[in-house]
Amino acid sequence: MSTSPRFARRSRSLSLWILVLITSLIIIGQTRFTADMTAFLPAHPTAEQAFLVDQIQEGTLSKMILIGIDGADARARAEASRALGAALRQSGLFSTVQNGTSPALATDQALLFNHRYLLSPDITAQHFLPAALHTAIANSIDLLASPLGVFTRKIFTQDPTGETFALINHLAPQGQNNAPVTRDGVWVSPDGKRALLMLQTRAKGADTDAMATALAEIHTVFAAQAQPPAGQPRLQLMVTGAPVFSVDSRRLIQADVERFSLIASLAIIGLLLLVYRSLILVILSLVPVLTGIMVAIAAVSLGFGAVHGITLGFGTTLIGEAIDYSIYYFIQTRDAPQDNATALLDAPPSPTPSANANVDGMARFWPTVRLGVLTSITGFAALLFSGFPGLAQIGLYSIAGLLTAALVTRFVLPYLDYSARKRHSLAPLGRLLAPVFNGVRRWRFGFALLALAALVLLVARHDAIWQSGLSGLSPISSQAKAEDAALRADLRSEDTRYFIVANAQSQQAALAAAEQLDAALKPLLTEGVLTRIESPAHLLPSLATQQARQHALPDRATLTQNLERAVQGLPVQAARLAPFVDAIAQARQQPLLTPQDFAGTDLGLALNSMLQRQTEHGQTHWLALIRLHTPHDTALNTARINQAIQASGVTALFIDKEAQTTQLFNSYLHNTIALSLAGLLAIIMVLGAVLKSPARLLRVLLPLLIAVVLVMAGLTLAGERLNILNLIGLLLIVAIGSNYALFFNQGKAPDAATLASLALANLTTVIAFGTLAFSDLPILHAFGSTVAPGAVLALLISAAFAEPAHAAPA
């Protein structure tokens, strides 16, 4: 016995299966799970998109956390802000913690003051001639008498020409409200009712685990050190920003995936128990599904380095499709007639009658299921070519999962199945259902008419079918988005819409390019087309520019002479301004400003966000990023900017974030629609090649297309805008439905057992997807609300259009 070929095949199949299971488990154990929406950004974008995607993934905004403290009184809030700020600075998790008390503020001011003659754009040789000095000093004296005198008075004798004041105005013009309001020494909202902090994490924003750690630290520190003692009014903490969104997304997706997987699994198991009346059978029927899911996760992990939460969400729905294979197997092989034996399993000498029955049934159901699996895989293969890693993941996941489930059903399940004899027949159930499936044939013209009406509706509303933008996919609630917007407004932290990006081989070349662009853009500032230009060269001029400024500074003798003449007619004596003469003498020998001088300052953070080092294929290059501000956020005349860029002689990209984002999302949608159509076409070709009859192909295909059109029209009528995941859902309707359609077109009408298995398979699919439709998360809801009704329609319409050759089985 132990040497029989069947036993050998059995042990080979089982050990291979166990090996695959163990390997998958090991890979899954080391898998990283992500949930950031950037997986749904293109992998091979245009230069402009590449910049945008990079900023979304790695830019300052991806690491920025905003905190608001509400409640109690202003003093308690200020104290909490100070305590929280100090503790978070100590934690080492953040590259900056700003709340108005930042020690970096004084360092920043000192840095600007000490390097004013290298930084100020006004420094030329003419600037120190008597007439120019006279005007500059007279201006500073006017300032002394003004409310601003409180700042300029302390440094007047060192800086009588007002370079520091000019520099600060140049970097952060007053009156533009670009700094948060400070009260009681900490940042507050304009109405003073909320204390504010702004943090940046050290880790990259794409590292969701690190973001979760940073956020947990904030909450722990706040509860432990910032809350006033018991008995006093409590403070409320508000934390928002991209890191919060990515952590919350992951948590929400995981929670819903777990919850709905559990509900759907329990419902399906309950249903199967009811029908099979055998626990062992239920467990056995789950084997292909579970193996499929594990192999699918492992495959995605190997292929992409990480598994996205949305892909896992998709796994729930895979249960609904893959369980069908074992249902077909168990039900259709139960009532297999003996005389139908074939050589499917190389016709081994059957050890038991039940195994024989399995083999016989296998011959009937396997070719149909094989074709169904083939069409499904063909459809999903199109997604593999998607430029969006998220969609490619779903494609790979589905292919690996379905293929594994089918193979396990075919090659492992028969060897595990000892209990065939105990299976009770579902033929009676099938016979009960037969009139329903037959009756539905009378509705075929009704379905056709309905489909035509739906087509008319879809054509009429073709502009309003699809949702634009990624925001529709985000699991973040509108309340959380509103909180984020409120804190951003309080902090006056605006999102810049227009950028110019220059790419250079070295840091100095990038700075020089920024300076050339700055010079070319300056006329637009005077004209009022732009209100402000933010350039890295304003903070760190190129070495050449710094040297030129240093050379423009007069020597001690010349300056003393010029100063004597300059102060004539002014209420100040030249001798009083000796510190100024000393400062210039010192500046002439001062070491030039380098990026290292900015270490640990907030100005350094601003500089890093505008002057970025990039490494690509082992080569380092530098990006200079220039931000353009327009009056009251009016749309910018892009032609003027492009002219200025051309005039500067620098090769640079002008980026309109809004236009690029819209373009990005549109290309994203079109790409996915094109891929889905390609998938559909591939399915048609496969079916055509196998069925070898245009009439049969049409009979299989038409019901599926009608189901798709009806679902699209139904969702549109329900006021839903379809997104990318609805689209994948439509592809799934074709993939799942093709199994039903094929069973109805096997050349003869399906027997009672097949009808019963189809009904059961359909019910499990509806359960799996139907539960997802109740999720609040747009992605899961989109899958569920598309596939659940689609699967029912596909079955009914397939039955309606089934081959009429034979009457219902007796």
Nearer Cβ to other proteins (575/695):
575
- In the complex, minimum distance from the CB of residue 493 to other proteins, in angstroms, rounded to a whole number: 17
Name which position in 183, 532, 621, 657 contacts other proteins (CB under 8 A): 183
CA–CA dist 705, 509 (Å, integer) = 58
Nearest alpha-carbon partner for 317 in 680, 787, 655 = 787
Nearer Cβ to other proteins (580/598):
580
Instruction: List, as one string, the DSSP characters of 510-524.
Output: HHHHHHHHHHHHHHH
CA–CA dist 54, 808 (Å, integer) = 61
Show the site string, 121-150: x = touches other proteins by CB under 8 A, - = not.
--------------------xx-xxxxx-x
- Main-chain dihedrals φ then ψ at residue 156, nearest 5 degrees: -60, -45
Nearer Cβ to other proteins (177/638):
177
- In the complex, minimum distance from the CB of residue 99 to other proteins, in angstroms, rounded to a whole number: 13
Residue count, binding to other proteins (CB under 8 A): 24
SS3 809: coil
Nearer Cβ to other proteins (272/563):
563
Nearest alpha-carbon partner for 257 in 297, 304, 213, 302 = 297
Identify residues 556-575 at the interface with other proteins (CB under 8 A).
571-573
Name which position in 4, 23, 126, 177 contacts other proteins (CB under 8 A): 177
- In the complex, minimum distance from the CB of residue 576 to other proteins, in angstroms, rounded to a whole number: 6
SS3 77: helix
Nearer Cβ to other proteins (120/672):
120
Nearer Cβ to other proteins (543/572):
572
**Does 236 engage in binding with other proteins (CB under 8 A)?**
no
Contact segment (CB under 8 A) with other proteins among 171-179, 390-398, 649-657, 777-785 equals: 171-179
- In the complex, minimum distance from the CB of residue 573 to other proteins, in angstroms, rounded to a whole number: 6
- Find the angle CA(795)-CA(799)-CA(805) to the nearest 5 degrees: 155
- Helices 556-566 and 130-145 meet at what angle, rounded to 10? 60
User: Element (H or E) spanning 79, and its range?
Assistant: helix 74-91
Tell me, what amino acid is at 340? N
Contacts of 754 (CB under 8 A, 6+ apart): 331, 332, 365, 430, 743
Nearer Cβ to other proteins (80/691):
80
Radius of gyration of the chain (CA): 35
Torsion sign over Cα 473, 475, 477, 482: negative
- The helix, strand and coil proportions of the chain, stated in percent and rounded to the nearest 5, come to 70, 10, 25
- In the complex, minimum distance from the CB of residue 131 to other proteins, in angstroms, rounded to a whole number: 19
Nearest alpha-carbon partner for 525 in 179, 170, 177 = 170
Nearer Cβ to other proteins (172/344):
172
Tell the burial category of 746 from Cβ atoms under 10 Å away from its Cβ (0-12, 13-18, 19+): middle
Name which position in 54, 58, 184, 483 contacts other proteins (CB under 8 A): 184
Identify residues 576-615 at the interface with other proteins (CB under 8 A).
576
CA–CA dist 25, 293 (Å, integer) = 11
- In the complex, minimum distance from the CB of residue 150 to other proteins, in angstroms, rounded to a whole number: 4
Name which position in 2, 3, 30, 175 contacts other proteins (CB under 8 A): 175
- In the complex, minimum distance from the CB of residue 555 to other proteins, in angstroms, rounded to a whole number: 25
Nearer Cβ to other proteins (168/450):
168
Nearer Cβ to other proteins (146/586):
146
How is residue 544 written in tokens?
């050449």
**Does 528 engage in binding with other proteins (CB under 8 A)?**
no
- In the complex, minimum distance from the CB of residue 663 to other proteins, in angstroms, rounded to a whole number: 38
Identify residues 185-214 at the interface with other proteins (CB under 8 A).
185
- In the complex, minimum distance from the CB of residue 143 to other proteins, in angstroms, rounded to a whole number: 8
Residue keyed to tokens 């009806």: 710
- In the complex, minimum distance from the CB of residue 141 to other proteins, in angstroms, rounded to a whole number: 7
Nearer Cβ to other proteins (150/807):
150
- In the complex, minimum distance from the CB of residue 140 to other proteins, in angstroms, rounded to a whole number: 10
Nearer Cβ to other proteins (106/456):
106
- In the complex, minimum distance from the CB of residue 134 to other proteins, in angstroms, rounded to a whole number: 15
Nearest alpha-carbon partner for 767 in 433, 383, 275 = 275
- In the complex, minimum distance from the CB of residue 626 to other proteins, in angstroms, rounded to a whole number: 23
Name which position in 181, 384, 543, 686 contacts other proteins (CB under 8 A): 181
Three state DSSP letters for 745-798: CCCCCCCHHHHHHHHHHHHHHHHHHHHHCCCCCHHHHHHHHHHHHHHHHHHHHH
SS3 280: helix
Pairing type for strands 33-34 and 307-308 reads parallel
Contact segment (CB under 8 A) with other proteins among 58-66, 174-182, 204-212, 736-744 equals: 174-182
- In the complex, minimum distance from the CB of residue 230 to other proteins, in angstroms, rounded to a whole number: 29
Contact segment (CB under 8 A) with other proteins among 169-177, 196-204, 236-244, 364-372 equals: 169-177
- Find the angle CA(529)-CA(534)-CA(539) to the nearest 5 degrees: 145
Nearer Cβ to other proteins (14/181):
181
CA–CA dist 731, 735 (Å, integer) = 6
Show the site string, 458-497: x = touches other proteins by CB under 8 A, - = not.
----------------------------------------
**Does 229 engage in binding with other proteins (CB under 8 A)?**
no
Nearer Cβ to other proteins (5/190):
190
**Does 747 engage in binding with other proteins (CB under 8 A)?**
no
Tell me, what amino acid is at 181? V
Question: Do 334 and 357 touch, CB atoms closer than 8 A?
Answer: yes
**Does 156 engage in binding with other proteins (CB under 8 A)?**
yes
Nearer Cβ to other proteins (71/149):
149
- In the complex, minimum distance from the CB of residue 621 to other proteins, in angstroms, rounded to a whole number: 39
Buried b (16+ CB within 10 A) or exposed e, 563-575: beebbeeeebebe
Identify residues 73-92 at the interface with other proteins (CB under 8 A).
none
- Find the angle CA(476)-CA(482)-CA(483) to the nearest 5 degrees: 95
Residue keyed to tokens 């038991």: 352
- In the complex, minimum distance from the CB of residue 101 to other proteins, in angstroms, rounded to a whole number: 12
CA–CA dist 81, 227 (Å, integer) = 10
How is residue 238 written in tokens?
């508000």
**Does 172 engage in binding with other proteins (CB under 8 A)?**
no
How is residue 810 written in tokens?
């007796």
Nearest alpha-carbon partner for 524 in 628, 402, 594 = 628
Name which position in 157, 213, 608, 661 contacts other proteins (CB under 8 A): 157
- In the complex, minimum distance from the CB of residue 567 to other proteins, in angstroms, rounded to a whole number: 10
CA atoms within 13 A on the CB side of 497: 15
SS3 568: coil
Nearer Cβ to other proteins (169/236):
169
Nearer Cβ to other proteins (172/457):
172
CA–CA dist 664, 607 (Å, integer) = 28
**Does 153 engage in binding with other proteins (CB under 8 A)?**
yes
- Main-chain dihedrals φ then ψ at residue 626, nearest 5 degrees: -110, 125
Residue 503: Cβ within 10 Å count: 18
Nearer Cβ to other proteins (156/499):
156
- In the complex, minimum distance from the CB of residue 147 to other proteins, in angstroms, rounded to a whole number: 5
**Does 531 engage in binding with other proteins (CB under 8 A)?**
no
Residues in contact with other proteins by CB under 8 A are: 141-142, 144-148, 150, 153, 156-157, 169, 174-175, 177, 181-185, 571-573, 576
